[in-house]
Structure 1
Amino acid sequence: MAASADELVVLLQAVAELIRDYDAIEEGNDDVECHIVSLLLARLLRQDRHRVPLYVERVVPAYVDLEFKKMFRLSRNTAAALVEEFERSSFHPQGSRGRTQLSAEKTVLIGLTYLGTQTTMYAIADKFDVSEWSVHGAIRRVLDFLISISERETKWPDGNDIARSKRAFHALFQRQGVEAGLPDVIGPLTAATSASLDRVCNAERVFTHVFIGFPGRVHDARVLEESSLFRDGELKCEGGYLIGDSAYPLMPWLLPPYHKCGASWQPWMETFDAAHCRQRVVIEGAFGLLKTRFQRLMYVDVATIPQTVDIVMAACVLHNIASRSSDDVDDEQPVDHDADVSSKEPESGAVTSVLAKTVRDTVAQAL
């Protein structure tokens, strides 16, 4: 149906705001101009839709805590704290600029719905009684906010935290009721192939390092070489080391398992590998929990690599916030501590230093 004069005024205000917000209009930028034209036509020709009225105002408060967590993947208390911090941030617009402004609560809940499910933008808009354009804007603001606090939430542990991690990892492997894990483990390292995600976690499955590289299947060692951890690992792991699967190179601060081969195989190597596997499986459990909680990661259907990076990082930030709050999900899959979590073979041509071999042998023989 045709737009009224009042609607045209509102439309022009919206276009002006679009130009201010995105600062993307340049002379000759045909893509942006076409996008604005499509928005104008959609607004002029739009039909009223029947959406769910007052979902956030009436339905959400009626949820019991279990229902709330199933819907938004966080407990009510954790979500409330997140809403409060988001509302204080610069990512929540102040003032309506002539339009009805989404509340901080509705904005955050839209973002959580997007990250926690595979629901379409259309369905999210219908559920929250807003336009699809508003859903896009809300998700973008939530992602930007979460990325802005990512350094705080995924920071490398300090001295006290490292000491706690070492004790916790050592206790994961026992023989005859006695703690017999690898000593001085700061955390396990592993990679995911779809977005070249490199990550380290502590014994509580909180990510302490997240690096998201390039798309496609890339060898784990190559992903590591591109991350800051490769440059700073020796300094960060002073007095300890990380453990990784067989795909990683052996370095003084990063110990993969032994390869069982020939006459050089010793019983203490097998003991080392058993403890190594038991402790390394923690990172697999953390990643499994991340994907279980935030199901958008199962299939990230976006147009660009930067969008994928933002979604993965935002999910990791939320995972850490929830983990630190002991906010577990009820549909979490149990971790098989005896599972074989070995990955690829080492990259061909990898050079191993004598010092790295000595460090691993010393640890293994002392078990």
Structure 2
Amino acid sequence: MGPIRGSKTKRKIDAETGFDWWDDFSKRIVGSLSPSKGVDEFELVFKVSRKTFNYICSLVSEPMMAKATNFVFLNGKSMSLNDQVALALRRLSSGDSLKGIANFFGTNHSTVSRVTWQFVVAIEERGLHHLQWPSTESEITQIKSKFENIRGLPNCCGVIHTTHIMMLLSESDHMVDVWLDRKDNHSMILQVIVDPDMRFRDVVTGYPGKMDDASVLQNSHFFDLSEKGKRLNGNKLKLSEGTEIQEYIVGDSGFPLLPWLITPYQGRKLPETKTEFNKRHFATRLVAQRALARLKDVWRMIHGVLWRPDKNRLPRVILACCILHNIVIDMEDDVLDDLSLTSQHDSGYRPEVCDMADKKASLSRDKLARYLSGRLPL
């Protein structure tokens, strides 16, 4: 009998998707699985599709395999690149302890720690192009269009937001009080600027949770570039004759009102024009809240309370999770569509009101509010 039609194609697909590796690996960790069930199990274990997993492997292959370290399982078998990437992804996505991951993979906790760190360094080295500010006019134009489609904000280029990465620190740590925030938790701040597809375009982390949003922003490279006119310096939008508005991002009341950063109006019993503006502003900001909720839901190592983390390494772990978040979006990976995700990312924290307001920015916001209410003629 001749070969069944399509068998060569199937073998080619299996080779490309790492089927043989997963077939062997899955038997070791969860017992024998049928091929159809294996696909679902793969995605549940690693939170990414096979296509995305293979792309990540190709991305980090050179820096990870260039290391002289020979990582092994408890049975003495050497870990392949796929094994190492699988271990690191499981560690970052499950939130399980080093011991739990070690038991799951059949290795020791020190190997889990070393492999994960080597992966974090490699994904930062080779994957940073997935996390960058738009570099072309067509790209920024598309972003503006998508934001305007949300609730009508024109010429908007991003949403800025922050979240806290919780930590449990030793009382013997002489720097312990530095990390104590206003909710009496030890935490590290993550500030992100998000596009309408929930992709992170700028990330700042490493600062203690006690710092307010305005201070973190003012210590960022993005702030320096924007203040110098080197960012958010694209085409201005004409609102009416003699009235135009520059490119900007939006943020909540914890941020200063600046020519390039528009915040909501404060106070109660606001005029209808300002109330309507705030509604549109809030609806637009939700994209950043959803992005951070998804980040923490999927990469659960930074979701809960990290037990005595290395505070020098933690910012790079956070950055790696942000890069992985973007890779999933860039790969058009639909695995997360089937996962149950929450809408909370910073429970118990509310923005502190920043009173800093640039006069020119205040006038621009008023003009934008009138334009959105239809009271500013075209």
TM-score interval w.r.t. the shorter chain?
Answer: 0.7 to 0.9
Quote how far apart the aligned CAs of 1:58 are: 8.1
TM value normalised by structure 1: 0.75
Greater RCO (CA < 8 Å, at least 6 residues apart): 2
Task: Say whether the 8 Å CA contact 1:155–1:209 is kept in structure 2.
Answer: yes
Find the partner of 1:333 among 322, 338, 341: 341
Whether 1:68 and 2:39 are equivalent positions in the alignment is no
Quote how far apart the aligned CAs of 1:84 are: 2.0
> Cα RMSD between the aligned structures?
2.8
CA separation of 1:355/1:124 partners in 2, compared to 1, >3 Å: closer, same or farther?
Answer: same
Quote how far apart the aligned CAs of 1:123 are: 2.5
Q: Secondary structure at the match of 2:307?
A: coil
Whether 1:90 and 2:96 are equivalent positions in the alignment is no
1:22 aligns with none
Find the partner of 1:236 among 216, 226, 231: 231
TM value normalised by structure 2: 0.73
Quote how far apart the aligned CAs of 1:344 are: 2.2
Quote how far apart the aligned CAs of 1:358 are: 1.8
1:214 aligns with 207
1:104-253 matches, cutoff 5 A = 104-158=81-135, 159-173=137-151, 181-193=152-164, 194-233=187-226, 234-239=229-234, 240-253=247-260
Whether 1:260 and 2:260 are equivalent positions in the alignment is no
Query: How far apart, CA to CA, are the structure 1 residues paired with 2:268 and 2:296?
Result: 35
What is the letter of the counterpart of residue 315 of structure 2? V
The answer for unaligned runs of 5 or more in structure 1 is: 1-51, 174-180
Quote how far apart the aligned CAs of 1:219 are: 0.8
Higher strand share: 2
Quote how far apart the aligned CAs of 1:318 are: 0.5
Between the two proteins, the alignment pairs up a number of residues equal to 300
Query: How far apart, CA to CA, are the structure 1 residues paired with 2:126 and 2:71?
Result: 30
Quote how far apart the aligned CAs of 1:196 are: 1.2
Task: Say whether the 8 Å CA contact 2:193–2:200 is kept in structure 1.
Answer: yes
Task: Say whether the 8 Å CA contact 2:59–2:126 is kept in structure 1.
Answer: no
1:24 aligns with none
Q: Secondary structure at the match of 2:113?
A: helix
Quote how far apart the aligned CAs of 1:74 are: 0.8
Could you say which structure has the larger radius of gyration?
Answer: 1
Quote how far apart the aligned CAs of 1:59 are: 5.7
Task: Say whether the 8 Å CA contact 2:255–2:353 is kept in structure 1.
Answer: yes
Query: How far apart, CA to CA, are the structure 1 residues paired with 2:112 and 2:207?
Result: 27
Quote how far apart the aligned CAs of 1:108 are: 0.3
CA separation of 1:124/1:61 partners in 2, compared to 1, >3 Å: closer, same or farther?
Answer: farther
* 1:209-261 CA distance string (max 9 Å, x none): 01103122321111111111111124211241000001110000000001134
Query: How far apart, CA to CA, are the structure 1 residues paired with 2:255 and 2:45?
Result: 38
CA separation of 1:255/1:121 partners in 2, compared to 1, >3 Å: closer, same or farther?
Answer: same
Q: Secondary structure at the match of 2:191?
A: strand
What is the letter of the counterpart of residue 79 of structure 1? F
1:278-317 matches, cutoff 5 A = 278-298=283-303, 299-317=305-323
Task: Say whether the 8 Å CA contact 2:147–2:284 is kept in structure 1.
Answer: yes
Displaced runs of 4+ in structure 1, greater than 4 A? 56-63, 94-100
Query: How far apart, CA to CA, are the structure 1 residues paired with 2:188 and 2:264?
Result: 25
Query: How far apart, CA to CA, are the structure 1 residues paired with 2:207 and 2:267?
Result: 32
What is the letter of the counterpart of residue 286 of structure 1? A
Quote how far apart the aligned CAs of 1:346 are: 2.6
CA separation of 1:149/1:56 partners in 2, compared to 1, >3 Å: closer, same or farther?
Answer: farther
Quote how far apart the aligned CAs of 1:113 are: 0.6
